[in-house]
Structures are given as structure tokens and as C-alpha cells.
Amino acid sequence: MKILGVIPARYDSTRFPGKCLVDIQGKSMVRHVYERSVLAKSLTKVIVATDDQRIFDEIKNHNGNVVMTSTTHRNGTERCSEVLEKVEEEYDYIINIQGDEPFINPKQIEILASCLDGNTELGTLVRHETDMAVLDSPTEMKVVLNKNMEAMYFSRSVIPFVRDAKKSDWAKKHQFYLHVGIYAYRTDILKKIVKLSPGELEMTESLEQLRWLENGYKIKVALTTHESFMIDTPEDLEAALEHFSRKRAEVSN
């Protein structure tokens, strides 16, 4: 099984411009993502896909693989599709690794890759969550699963609704899952989903993966216990650094 890891990384960000190049402990964010991703043994190759010369040069100057892509892409899926068109090698799957997750654990990539058996069309990760304050946040994507560990729906709302229980007790009554933003696409499926028009559910919730579900594609889900920190704002970065500093202190003690 040949799997290509692609890290979409654009410079422009509404809430944190240039975040991919922000310095984290002596390295740019995107370089942290790249160096962690290449540790995943399941990946045949890792490529950064960018639309900015500064990010291109940052990866190239550190002997990484990088491809310049269009500035018109609406999301990382479309950027991954362009990379697939440009590479000379053939791949069975592409794993889309977020360029703003500098602390990604390579084991998360391996867990997702373990689901890719040739039959899986699309894949992603989830983790179990019990904190209702986290579950209530519209920035955290919730997922409901079927018995085959496939996604039934993604939402910014807490789903399902637990009837006849106080909201503070919901997590005691039902297992809730948060979406972890890493995707796998079978290459033939990737070529098809980028041609789909945004659907009503996607536009309502502003969640791209709902377009795939609306069109009948199946999203295989794997469970991870590893923490994930997507950096959308400078405050997110500060919080993540503080968290990992505490973790290191706990280990050293």
C-alpha cells in the first residue's frame, strides 16, 4: 500500500496570518509538522503543499519535499488533489495532515493508515470526550458513528441529544466523540469529491466532510487517545506550549 502524506500549508489566515512560519522552539510550525509526519513509517513520502513562496523556501531550505499549488483552492482537500496531479508516482491513498498541528503525534497517522485496506473510501480520526464544556464549543466538531465505525454525521452542536437527562450528565449517559482533523482519501475517490458542489448541510454547518456524506461516500473512523492541538490563533499556540511544558515537567519529575 503506497500512501502519500500531504501537508497543506497556506500563509494567509484570517485569525493568525503567517502562522505556518511562526517560530516554535527554534523551528517554524510547518517544519515541526513535516518532521513529525516523516516519522510515520506507513507514509511512502511526505510533501508540503503551499501557495506561498516563503513557506516553499522554508521547506526547501531544510531539504524537505514541497510543491507549489494554486492560490484559488478553497480547502486542503483541493490542494491535496493538485499534488496528486503533479507527482510522478502513483499512490493508493493520500493522508491530509493539517499544517497547523505542530505537535501531531506520528502514531495518529499510523492509526489512520491502519484503516486503509483498499476498500476504505475515506478515513478520519475521533477521540472520546467527557468534558461538556469542550463538547459545547462550536469550534469542536462532534461525530456520531454507526456500528461499522463509519461517520454518520458531523456537527458543531452536541450530538446526539440525550433525552431525560441534565446536560451536565450527558457524558455519563452516552459516549461522545470529537473529530480529529486528519483525513485519508483513496486516490480515485479524491478525484471525484473535489468535483462535487457544496451541499446544503455543508453550507449550514460549514463542514466540508458533510459534502461527502451527502453524496453517499463512506468515511471510516479510527479512535485515537493522543491529544491534538490545532493552532488557529496566537492564544491557541500559547495554550498548547503551556500544556506541553507542563507535560514535560511531569515526566521529568
CATH match for 3-124+180-252 among 2.60.260.20, 3.30.565.10, 3.90.550.10, 3.10.560.10: 3.90.550.10
What band does 221 get if pLDDT is binned at 50, 70 and 90?
Answer: very high
Predicted TM-score of the model (pTM): 0.93
Cα gap 178→155, rounded to integer Å: 10
Cα gap 208→223, rounded to integer Å: 20
Cα gap 116→220, rounded to integer Å: 9
What band does 68 get if pLDDT is binned at 50, 70 and 90?
Answer: very high
Q: Report, as an integer, the average pLDDT of 42-70.
A: 96
Write down the pLDDT at residue 4: 98
Tens of pLDDT along 113-133? Answer: 999 999 999 999 999 999 999
| Cβ neighbours, 10 Å, residue 208 | 19
Give yes or no for residue 250 having a pLDDT over 80.
Answer: no
Cα gap 202→104, rounded to integer Å: 26
